[in-house]
Amino acid sequence: MSDNDNSPTWQAGWATAVQRPSVGFHKNWAEEGFADQTLRQTVRVTGAGTRARIKLSNRYGTAPLEVSGASIARSGDGAAVAAGSVRRLTFDGSESVRIPAGAEVYSDPAEVTVAALESLTVSLYVAGPSGPATFHAQAWATTYRAAGAQLGEVDPAVFGETTVSWYYLAAVELADGGPARRDTVVLFGDSITDGFGSTVDADRRYSDALAERLAAEGRPLRVLNLGIGGNLLLNDSEWFGERAGARFDRDVLAQPGVRSVVVLVGLNDIGFSEVDLPTYKPAPDNAPEQLIAGYRELIERAHAAGVRVIGATILPFKGSEYHTPAAEAKRRAVNEWIRTGGAFDAVVDFAAVMADPAHPDALLPAYDCGDFKHPGDEGYRAMARALDPAAL
């Protein structure tokens, strides 16, 4: 929806990167879509505000999407919402909205007071049938579904079905009556940015740990997580989203108040070619020089928009299905360029921080979620500690 001269100044609150519908690693409802059902989705914001609006996406829909009602509330436990906090959302004054295929829309502002690191719950009623749904596959947070229109303070027990994906919801933006500020940091990349292996519903991704650290140190920034599990730097994937270069402008540069981006991507470009799986396609044998050219493209576009770029080295992955001598040689070559090439405004050496000193090609066991490739909660905290706030 369009803004006017009296519109508030919108700042980032929460965002995610949307994908085309697919089966994914966890059960989800993206391919079947919704009919006479209410979705309830809880997200933690990293900024404060007294007004809120949401962005809904039908980017990958093949037909118009009818959202018949929506609400926003302060979160309770599970599918519950805080008493007295539910606000019905409108779209250009209407309680329903028709979103064309390929389009995204904003709601009108709602009066909602929320502090940084608190959670909001968005409920969407879809009379449907909707057809396949634009979504974010690996949310590491529970989404609830109930039959019928359940937008208010209903018994949370009616939300008897769950998945760990987000549907249609692409952003929550906040306003507090103040001027526009460039205080948004975007973490951009693949499953390690997305939080794969972190505890569901515990907000233990490295983006969460970074936002908490910055707040505790008295220099809070709005930290957005725009990772997609399985994402590639150089190729689009039916399962894992458009390539990093294709989504960089909308997922990073279009965020309100963006000042810097941390780029951690390339692991799958190296690893997919080592494993013959239907989901790991396309899987070209990428040379380090091709990845470097992909990084340079992102850096150039960020600098043209006045955004700082922090390059992150690729984590060790010995023991995982990706690891071969050829893959390890590529990782080392790419990481050496990230460290010494001088193309990034700053570098965070996650590879060094996360490695087992006794086996530098492998993750430190205390940081490993168990698959030799992704950190667990403690590993994500270590990543957040490794970032220099001054670089952001």
Predicted confidence pLDDT, tens digits, the chain (392 residues)? 444 446 799 999 999 999 999 987 678 999 999 999 999 999 999 999 999 999 999 999 999 999 999 999 999 999 999 999 999 999 999 999 999 999 999 999 999 999 999 999 999 999 989 999 999 999 999 999 999 999 999 999 999 999 999 999 999 999 998 899 999 999 999 999 999 999 999 999 999 999 999 999 999 999 999 999 999 999 999 999 999 999 999 999 999 999 999 999 999 999 999 999 999 999 999 999 999 999 999 999 999 999 999 999 999 999 999 999 999 999 999 999 999 999 999 999 999 999 999 999 999 999 999 999 999 999 999 999 999 999 99
Q: Is 282 inside any structural domain?
A: yes
CATH number at residue 367: 3.40.50.1110
Q: Is the dihedral of CA 267, 288, 352, 225 positive or negative?
A: negative
When divided into structural domains, the chain yields a total of 2
Last residue of a domain, one of 131, 147, 174: 174
Judgement on whether residues 140 and 203 belong to the same structural domain of the protein: no
Please count the other Cβ atoms lying within 10 Å of the Cβ belonging to residue 92: 11
Query: How many angstroms separate the CA atoms of 368 and 319, rounded?
Result: 11
Q: Is 2 inside any structural domain?
A: no
Please compute Rg for the chain using Cα positions. 20
Q: Is 1 inside any structural domain?
A: no
Cβ 331 vs Cβ 291: under 8 Å: no
Please count the other Cβ atoms lying within 10 Å of the Cβ belonging to residue 127: 16
DSSP H stretches of helix in the chain: 191-194, 206-216, 244-248, 267-271, 288-304, 325-340, 350-354, 377-386
Alpha carbon distance, N-terminus to C-terminus of the chain = 31
Judgement on whether residues 367 and 234 belong to the same structural domain of the protein: yes
Last residue of a domain, one of 157, 174, 191: 174
Judgement on whether residues 330 and 214 belong to the same structural domain of the protein: yes
Last residue of a domain, one of 150, 174, 198: 174
pLDDT at position 6 is 65
Judgement on whether residues 222 and 368 belong to the same structural domain of the protein: yes
Judgement on whether residues 100 and 157 belong to the same structural domain of the protein: yes
Q: What is the largest CA-CA distance in the chain?
A: 62
Judgement on whether residues 369 and 305 belong to the same structural domain of the protein: yes
Judgement on whether residues 54 and 115 belong to the same structural domain of the protein: yes
Query: How many angstroms separate the CA atoms of 227 and 207, rounded?
Result: 10
What's the domain range around 356? Answer: 181-391
Judgement on whether residues 351 and 216 belong to the same structural domain of the protein: yes
pTM: 0.96
Q: Is 312 inside any structural domain?
A: yes
Query: How many angstroms separate the CA atoms of 17 and 169, rounded?
Result: 10
244 is written with which tokens? Answer: 């990093």
